[in-house]
Amino acid sequence: MAIIAEAKHLKAYYITQSYGIERTVKAVDDISLEIKEKEILGIAGESGCGKSTLLKALLGTIDPPLKIVDGTMQYEFEESYNVLSMSKDEIKQIRWTKVSYIPQGSMHVLNPVRKIRDTFHDFIATHQNLNKSETTQLSQDYLQKLGLSGQVMNAYPHQLSGGMRQRATIALATILSPKLVFADEPTTALDVLVQRGVVQLLKEIQQREGSTLVLVSHDMGVHANLADRIAILYAGKLVEEADTRSIFKNPLHPYTQYLIESLPRLDDKTERSSIPGRPPALDNPPEGCRFHPRCPHAMDICTKEVPPLVDMGGGHKTACFLVSEEKT
């Protein structure tokens, strides 16, 4: 499959200076990632591991104190775009029409004093030269296609239920048929029924439009249901990347193993352990492999050297000396 976006050795740090003391938070540290056309790529990891920062870098929304220290990020549509060297205006040209973004808190995204109809109009009219009745028609048709009720258009955001609000946001983000959609925790803070409705909608849009979806979430259950491939982040590093089945059935990195092991399941009450220790602070991460202080298999080399991301065959990549040593 063709590659639609590619990050190479991306390093995005938050650099702040106060009273002459410089503090660097290495939120994304040397991450290389390929996003294939028409796939659903899940990015998983706990809070503070750099998921959102990675997304910012992938989207090219770099604002101080965030700085891209190193690396490249490229979109490959009809022509290729080098995201990190594009100006704000150039990014605006492709935002929503080619590359789209579904934000996390749908509560705060929609303008509370405008009806959904007006929000849709404002949004479409910025990109296409249409008048109000045309945009209303267009958005009504689109909502209908997605199976959402027409009532939505005449409501104010606060009148909608949480799930409907999130789905209206998704409709808004995808109405201009973008090729590449990034979703940042689209189901967090929604309850299970609504979550299922939202996941259903995301999948439907992705399949009908033939677009590519990058889904950032900490919920492994959602990934299992939706993603084709999963990348696991830990403390600003990519530790494992594989197709969904391999991640769940045959995780190689000790962190992934713990993560899968600790998931509670229905119809099973046996004791589940959680990962010992705590995630490291990113302004002063441990030397070598960043997981070594919590890892039960830590070796000498883990404390000194950073394990490279190695392909173990079949596109299953992992960054762990334990696994890569065995292979050699």
Partner 1 sequence: MIHNTDENLLDIADLTKVFSLRQGFSTTKLVAVDKASFVLKATQPEIVALAGESGSGKTTVARMILGLTEPTSGIIRYKNKNLTQLTRQEKRSWFLKEVQPIFQNPFATFSPLKRIETYLFETASNYNVVEKENVNQYVDDILNLVGLSLAEISGRYPNELSGGQAQRVSVARALITAPSLLVADEPVSMVDASLRMSIVNLFRQLKDEQAVSVLYITHDLATAYYAADRIAIMLGGWIVEYGSVEKVLGQPLHPYTQNLKQSIPDPDPDRKWEGQINLAVLETDEFTNMGCKYASRCPEVMEVCKQKIPTDFLVEDRTVKCFLYEDKNQA
Residues that bind partner 1 (CB under 8 A): 46-48, 149, 151-152, 155, 158-164, 189-197, 199-200, 218-225, 244-245, 248-249, 258-260, 262-269, 271-275, 278-279
* Strand boundaries in 196-323, DSSP class E: 212-216, 229-234, 237-243, 310-311, 317-318
What SS3 state is found at 107? helix
Shortest separation between residue 163's beta carbon and partner 1, angstroms: 5
Determine if the peptide bond prior to 65 is cis (ω within 30°): yes
What does the radius of gyration of the chain's CA atoms come to, in whole angstroms? Answer: 21
Shortest separation between residue 222's beta carbon and partner 1, angstroms: 5
Residues 110, 119 contacting (CB under 8 angstroms): yes
Nearer to partner 1, 147 or 210 (CB): 147
Q: Which residues contact 295 (CB under 8 A, 6 or more apart)?
A: 254, 255, 289, 302
Q: Tokens at residue 86, please?
A: 């594009």
Shortest separation between residue 46's beta carbon and partner 1, angstroms: 4
Matching residue, tokens 């267009």: 138
Matching residue, tokens 């990015």: 43
With the CA atoms of 233, 235, 191 and 162 taken in that order, what torsion angle do they form, in degrees rounded to the nearest 10? Answer: -100
Nearer to partner 1, 45 or 288 (CB): 45
Nearer to partner 1, 261 or 305 (CB): 261
Shortest separation between residue 92's beta carbon and partner 1, angstroms: 33
Shortest separation between residue 199's beta carbon and partner 1, angstroms: 7
Shortest separation between residue 251's beta carbon and partner 1, angstroms: 12
Nearer to partner 1, 48 or 71 (CB): 48
Cα separation, 148 vs 132, in Å, equals 20
Nearer to partner 1, 83 or 152 (CB): 152
CA distances 14 to 36, 45, 257, 286, Å, are 28, 19, 30, 18
Nearer to partner 1, 5 or 220 (CB): 220
Nearer to partner 1, 73 or 160 (CB): 160
Shortest separation between residue 107's beta carbon and partner 1, angstroms: 11
Residues 232, 241 contacting (CB under 8 angstroms): yes
Nearer to partner 1, 191 or 311 (CB): 191
Element (H, E) at 120: helix 116-127
What SS3 state is found at 133? helix
Shortest separation between residue 324's beta carbon and partner 1, angstroms: 23
What SS3 state is found at 310? strand
Shortest separation between residue 76's beta carbon and partner 1, angstroms: 28
Q: Tokens at residue 194, please?
A: 């609504």
Nearer to partner 1, 45 or 178 (CB): 45
DSSP 216-237: E-S-HHHHHHH-SEEEEEETTE
